[in-house]
Amino acid sequence: MADALSLTFKLITPTGPLFEGQVEEVTAVNPMGEFGVLPEHINYITAVVPCVVTVKLAGGDFRFFVVSGGLVEVKDGVMTLLAPTAQQPGELADSDIVSKDMLAAEEKMAQISFYEPGYDQAMRELQLARARERGVRLRQPPS
């Protein structure tokens, strides 16, 4: 059993677990905005939009994962994130490709109306492109 100062976090994709361990804090983004989970969090369930999930490990180190959305459950001191896809920043494409993808997603959003059937998909593509761009920035050392 984990101590009261840590939280068990599991990141699971269709191909299997990507991360499982004791952490101090996890932050992600749901449709309402950014949220954080700490040890002893109340039981909670929410959807997650494409974003960078930040995991604070014991000792102050951080791990980052770019997820394409998913579902989070916090239950009895365990946070489980089920994501269709998840990547660590080091696994992302070259920064030029990521930037081009983001520009294409922004252009698509600029050309579509909220009332068109493809709006939700275009928004998710833009959110994922922005998360990937942030992930690329996270893998580069601060200057």
- The residue-averaged pLDDT of 124-138 equals 92
The closest alpha carbon to 120, from 50, 18, 45, belongs to: 50
Predicted confidence (pLDDT) per residue in 43-86, tens digit: 999 999 999 999 999 888 999 999 999 999 999 999 999 999 99
- Tens digit of pLDDT for each residue in 4-40? 688 999 999 999 999 999 999 999 999 999 999 999 9
CATH of domain 7-87: 2.60.15.10
